[in-house]
């Protein structure tokens, strides 16, 4: 503990994050090697990894850039469809490892491209307007993918946005993407270690970006857009950087997710999923990557844990969500928790300061939480 205190704050919290992921991986390995792994837990591992990557990447937009995006699932979808389309067609002829690596890269690239496409016109907006436009672009992509038919026969590849008949496939033809039915018959690949490696790559990228010059520019835009512009920052450039980076990782998460199931449909990636990921980020604390990861794990596992309640499952889930959100973010409860923590530590004098901080307005609280550079940082770190 004493050693830790001497370390730079950022280094300490980064080490904790990476350490947590590795411990998480190790625990699962032990459970699985000792034969205690249940099918249920095993089946949840890959979705958990995918949602962790989603939460980390959305944090870049919501937590660090400070823009509300309600279309994050669309990037996941773009990545999933691009990656899986390659994986089931060309990828089937390649060695498995190569096919996988290319699928992940393609998925990320496709999502990044879609991110640029959406981001360039959309990032001129901010706040509620941006939220609505991202929501709409997500729905557009979902509907286009739901209407997309691609088939292949001896005469080549056919493509239609209308229906399966208009492809005019020969009898030897094979449907590759079947509209609302999406891509069926995916050769499943679910490997937890690969999932964890992807989480670590995402973490490494986002953490480095955050602590770089660009990252400081991004947080500066969040804190005061006018001041940031006045210092000569190229706002569009940095906004786009954050937005597109987030999209790329969402795309990779999409490929990871889709590989875990034998069928991929566009309907899965609707605004509900976007909002679910947003809830993970908000619950974990905007700008708090570690919190977002924990929230992603909790929110993926919780509905499955509550199966015992049968049809009241989602009802109880919502109540738990409200309670957790209040416990984590309500100013009065934050103050109470901080008092409790300092009492345990016997630092009464310091606690008074913290209480003052916590009583400040809710938004100030949120801001200070995610901002490494403010004076309140220590108190915030402590309560995590």
Partner 1 sequence: MKKVLSIVLTGALAASFVMSASAAEVIKIGGIGPTTGPAGIYGSSVQNAMEIAVEEVNALDGDIQFELMFEDDTHDAETSVNAYNTLKDKGMQILGGTVTTVPCLAVGAEAVADNMLCLTPSASSQDVIDLGDNMFQVCFTDPNQGLASADYISQQGLGTKIGVIYNSADPYSTGILNTFLAEAEVVGLEVLEPQAFTDDNSTDLTTQVQACKDAGADLIFLPIYYTPASQILKAADDMDYDVKFFGVDGMDGILSVEGFDTSLAEGVMLLTPFVATSTDEATVAFVEKYKEKTGGQIPNQFAADGYDVVMTLYKACTEAGVTADMAPSDVCEALKAVLTSGDFSVDGLTGEGMTWDASGAVSKAPRGMVIENGEYQPMD
Should residue 25 be labelled a site residue for partner 1 when binding is judged by CB under 8 A?
Answer: no
Strand ranges (E), the chain:
149-153, 156-160, 174-178
Should residue 306 be labelled a site residue for partner 1 when binding is judged by CB under 8 A?
Answer: no
DSSP run (H or E) holding 109 = helix 96-122
Closest approach, Cβ 39 to partner 1, in A, equals: 4
- Count of residues in contact with partner 1, rule CB under 8 A: 56
Kindly tell me which of 10 and 263 has the beta carbon lying closer to partner 1: 263
Closest approach, Cβ 226 to partner 1, in A, equals: 34
Stretch that binds partner 1, among 177-185, 196-204, 243-251, 363-371 (CB under 8 A): 177-185
Distance CA 49, CA 44 (A): 9
Distance CA 202, CA 253 (A): 10
Contact residue for partner 1 among 3, 6, 97, 165 (CB under 8 A)? 165
Closest approach, Cβ 384 to partner 1, in A, equals: 5
Q: What are the two backbone dihedrals, phi and then psi, of residue 8, each rounded to the nearest 5 degrees? A: -60, 145
3-state secondary structure of 221: helix
> What residues are paired with 159 via a beta bridge?
150
DSSP run (H or E) holding 146 = helix 128-146
Q: What are the two backbone dihedrals, phi and then psi, of residue 152, each rounded to the nearest 5 degrees? A: -135, 130
Closest approach, Cβ 289 to partner 1, in A, equals: 12
The whole-angstrom distance between residue 263's C-alpha and the CA centroid of its chain comes to 21
Contact residue for partner 1 among 7, 22, 27, 360 (CB under 8 A)? 27
| C-alpha separations of 315 from 228, 309, 319, 322 in Å | 44, 9, 6, 11
Should residue 341 be labelled a site residue for partner 1 when binding is judged by CB under 8 A?
Answer: yes
Distance CA 6, CA 226 (A): 36
Q: What is the DSSP letter of 62?
A: I
Which residues, numbered 266-285, are part of the site for partner 1 (CB under 8 A)? 267-268
Contact residue for partner 1 among 174, 188, 343, 373 (CB under 8 A)? 188
Should residue 164 be labelled a site residue for partner 1 when binding is judged by CB under 8 A?
Answer: yes
Stretch that binds partner 1, among 3-11, 40-48, 81-89, 221-229 (CB under 8 A): 40-48
Strand order in the sheet with 156-160: 156-160, 149-153, 174-178
Should residue 336 be labelled a site residue for partner 1 when binding is judged by CB under 8 A?
Answer: no
Should residue 311 be labelled a site residue for partner 1 when binding is judged by CB under 8 A?
Answer: yes
Closest approach, Cβ 360 to partner 1, in A, equals: 20
Contact residue for partner 1 among 277, 287, 290, 354 (CB under 8 A)? 290
**The token pair that represents 302 in the structure block:** 């919780």
Helices and strands per DSSP (H, E), number in the chain: 17, 3
3-state secondary structure of 160: strand
Contact residue for partner 1 among 89, 191, 263, 371 (CB under 8 A)? 263
Q: Give the residues lining the site for partner 1 (CB under 8 A).
A: 16, 20, 23-24, 27-28, 31, 36-44, 47, 143, 146-147, 162-165, 178-181, 184-185, 188, 261-263, 265, 267-268, 290, 294, 297-298, 301, 303-305, 307, 310-311, 313-314, 337, 341, 344, 382-384
């Amino acid at each position: 503990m004493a050693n830790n205190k001497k370390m730079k704050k950022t280094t300490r919290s980064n080490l904790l994050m990476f350490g947590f992921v590795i411990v998480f991986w190790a625990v699962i390995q032990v459970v699985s090697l000792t034969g205690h792994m249940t099918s249920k837990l095993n089946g949840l591992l890959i979705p958990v990894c995918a949602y962790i990557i989603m939460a980390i990447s959305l944090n870049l937009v919501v937590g660090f850039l400070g823009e509300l995006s309600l279309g994050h699932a669309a990037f996941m979808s773009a990545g999933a469809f691009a990656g899986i389309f390659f994986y089931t067609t060309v990828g089937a002829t390649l060695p498995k490892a190569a096919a996988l690596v290319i699928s992940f890269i393609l998925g990320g690239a496709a999502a990044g491209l879609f991110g640029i496409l959406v981001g360039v016109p959309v990032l001129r907006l901010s706040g509620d307007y941006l939220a609505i436009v991202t929501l709409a672009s997500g729905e557009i992509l979902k509907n286009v993918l739901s209407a997309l038919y691609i088939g292949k026969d001896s005469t080549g590849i056919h493509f239609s946005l209308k229906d399966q008949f208009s492809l005019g496939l020969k009898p030897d033809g094979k449907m590759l993407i079947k509209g609302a039915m999406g891509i069926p018959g995916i050769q499943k690949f679910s490997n937890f270690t690969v999932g964890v490696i992807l989480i670590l790559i995402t973490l490494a990228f986002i953490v480095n970006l955050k602590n770089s010059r660009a990252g400081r520019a991004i947080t500066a835009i969040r804190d005061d857009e006018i001041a940031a512009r006045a210092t000569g920052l190229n706002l569009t450039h940095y906004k786009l950087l954050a937005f597109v980076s987030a999209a790329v990782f969402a795309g990779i998460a999409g490929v990871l997710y889709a590989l875990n199931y034998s069928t991929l449909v566009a309907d899965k990636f609707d605004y509900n999923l976007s909002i679910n990921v947003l809830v993970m980020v908000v619950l974990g604390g905007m700008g708090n990557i570690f919190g977002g990861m924990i929230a992603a794990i909790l929110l993926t596992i919780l509905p499955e844990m509550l199966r015992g309640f049968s049809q009241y499952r989602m009802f109880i889930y919502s109540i738990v969500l409200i309670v957790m959100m209040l416990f984590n973010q309500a100013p009065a409860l934050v103050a109470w928790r901080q008092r409790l923590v300092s009492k345990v530590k016997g630092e009464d004098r310091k606690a008074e300061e913290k209480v003052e901080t916590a009583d400040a307005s809710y938004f100030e609280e949120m801001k200070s939480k995610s901002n490494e550079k403010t004076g309140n940082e220590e108190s915030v770190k402590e309560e995590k």
